[in-house]
């Protein structure tokens, strides 16, 4: 990472560290960070050189990032190499990550729960388990329906909604205190 500015080097290193917490490995996190902040599309050789990674590690990382739909493949006229860039809009990245997480993590869980809820309980233990699974299913369905509505919002509306969170919390706290005071 010697050819990177201190600012970019710091950002790339941080994304590598955070990658493991987000479910990707350090190398993939660093590759993504480099592509994200790059002013131009990069090819695998550029990435390998800038990050001092093996070409095979870069190729595997790029495949993973493409599977997550976080990078775009580009071809430059007269150049046979593949180039990669990333959306620069943080909201677009957020939406893509949310959609991918839902597809990979939430949908399989909902599918399993739907199938389980079709079963008739054979024992009291099964009845309790199904009751709890129904609660989990209903919560996940509710949140995914809400999240679908949120993802359909334009960026400006979504931003306003997110900023309202703190205000809504204050109103709820005030309302709760007012109701508690009225009951005394």
Query: What backbone phi and psi angles, to 5 degrees, belong to 145?
Result: -65, -45
- pLDDT one-digit tens code per residue, 12-65: 999 999 987 887 899 999 999 999 999 999 999 999 999 999 999 999 999 999
Exposed, middle or buried: residue 31 (CB in 10 Å: 0-12, 13-18, 19+)? buried
Count: domains in the chain: 2
The domain of 127 spans 90-158
User: Could you tell me the pTM of the whole model?
Assistant: 0.75
134 in the same domain as 79: no
For the stretch 41-54, pLDDT in tens is 999 999 999 999 99
Tell whether 127 and 77 lie within a shared domain: no
Q: Band the pLDDT of 151: cuts 50, 70, 90.
A: confident
Pair 46, 106 in one domain: no
Question: Which residue pairs from 65-70 have beta carbons closer than 8 angstroms and sit at least 24 positions apart in sequence?
Answer: 65/28, 65/31, 65/32, 65/35, 68/96, 68/97, 68/100, 69/96, 69/99, 69/100, 70/32, 70/96, 70/97
92: its two tokens: 């677009």
**Phi, psi dihedrals of residue 129, rounded to the nearest 5°:** -60, -45
User: Residue 183 has what pLDDT?
Assistant: 64
Tokens 């099964």 sit at which residue?
A: 126
């Amino acid at each position: 990472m010697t050819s990177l500015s201190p600012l970019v080097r710091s950002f790339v290193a941080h994304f590598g560290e955070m990658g493991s917490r987000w479910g990707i490995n350090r190398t993939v996190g660093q590759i993504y960070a480099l592509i994200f902040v790059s002013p131009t599309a990069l090819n695998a050789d550029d990435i390998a050189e800038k990050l001092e990674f093996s070409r095979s590690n870069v190729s595997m990382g790029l495949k993973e990032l493409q599977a997550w739909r976080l990078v775009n493949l580009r071809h430059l006229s007269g150049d046979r190499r593949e180039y990669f860039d990333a959306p620069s809009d943080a909201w677009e990245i957020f939406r893509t990550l949310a959609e991918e997480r839902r597809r990979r993590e939430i949908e399989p869980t909902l599918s399993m729960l739907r199938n389980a809820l079709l079963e008739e309980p054979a024992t009291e233990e099964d009845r309790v388990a199904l009751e709890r699974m129904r609660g989990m299913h209903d919560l996940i369905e509710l949140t995914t329906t809400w999240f679908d509505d949120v993802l359909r919002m334009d960026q400006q509306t979504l931003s306003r909604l997110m900023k309202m969170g703190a205000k809504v919390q204050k109103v709820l706290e005030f309302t709760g205190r007012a109701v508690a005071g009225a009951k005394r």
